[in-house]
């Protein structure tokens, strides 16, 4: 769901906030009645990769909620101080323990309903030895026919994999921009 109205107290002074439309604005925001701080709540970016080896892609089986036990591309929330590419690289190291070269941005998926934008870069694997971190039960390569589509953790992952295997068949990779409603 959309995480609106999740601010109850002012981050500056701790006073309980009120939701109202500030002057020179047209949306309700959490406003502090004491110190007048306006709290903006904005979409979050999720950054990850499509790591590939020959005709296979690397998927990670999640060791954490949400979607414990299901399969995902390595991805996670973008952090302050990094670029989308740096975040994608970091998440792929953390979750899959893979060695790879980061290639072009491949898939951008908007999920307005939950206030997220997902970015996936193609990543050319340099080895088939993986050393996944604590967030991953198992990291494994799957060809298109081996992917367990009903056991994928997220629709952003399904959409990106569908595009990827279609592009792999035609031998050409572009940038996909998809909206999930």
Residue among 15, 124, 128, 143 that touches its own copies (CB under 8 A): 15
Can you tell me the distance from the alpha carbon of 33 to that of 10, in angstroms, rounded to the nearest whole number? 9
Handedness of CA 91, 95, 101, 104 (dihedral sign): negative
Instruction: Give me the least distance between CB of 13 and its own copies, in Å please.
Output: 6
Kindly report the backbone phi and psi dihedral angles of residue 6, in degrees, each rounded to the nearest multiple of 5, phi listed first.
Answer: -95, -10
User: Is residue 110 at the binding interface for its own copies, with CB under 8 A as the rule?
Assistant: yes
Choose between 151 and 179: whose C-beta lies nearer to its own copies.
179
User: Is residue 23 at the binding interface for its own copies, with CB under 8 A as the rule?
Assistant: no
Residue among 45, 76, 165, 173 that touches its own copies (CB under 8 A): 45
User: Is residue 36 at the binding interface for its own copies, with CB under 8 A as the rule?
Assistant: no
Choose between 3 and 148: whose C-beta lies nearer to its own copies.
3
Half-sphere exposure of 39 (CA within 13 A, CB side): 22
Token digits for 56?
A: 């296979």
């Amino acid at each position: 769901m959309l995480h609106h109205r999740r601010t109850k107290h002012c981050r500056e002074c701790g006073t309980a906030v009120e939701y109202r439309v500030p002057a020179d604005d047209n949306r309700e925001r959490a406003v502090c009645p004491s110190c007048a701080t306006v709290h903006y709540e904005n979409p979050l970016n999720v950054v990850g990769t499509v790591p590939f080896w020959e005709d296979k892609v690397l998927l990670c089986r999640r060791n954490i909620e949400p979607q414990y036990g299901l399969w995902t591309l390595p991805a996670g929330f973008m952090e302050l101080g990094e670029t989308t590419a740096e975040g994608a690289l970091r998440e792929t190291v953390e979750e899959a323990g893979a060695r790879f070269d980061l290639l072009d941005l491949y898939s951008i998926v908007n999920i307005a309903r939950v206030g997220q934008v997902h970015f996936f870069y193609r990543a050319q694997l340099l080895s088939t030895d993986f050393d996944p971190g604590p967030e991953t039960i198992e990291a494994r390569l799957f060809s298109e026919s081996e992917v367990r589509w009903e056991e994928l953790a997220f629709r952003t992952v399904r959409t990106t994999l569908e595009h990827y295997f279609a592009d792999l068949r035609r031998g050409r990779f572009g940038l996909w921009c998809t909206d999930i409603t």
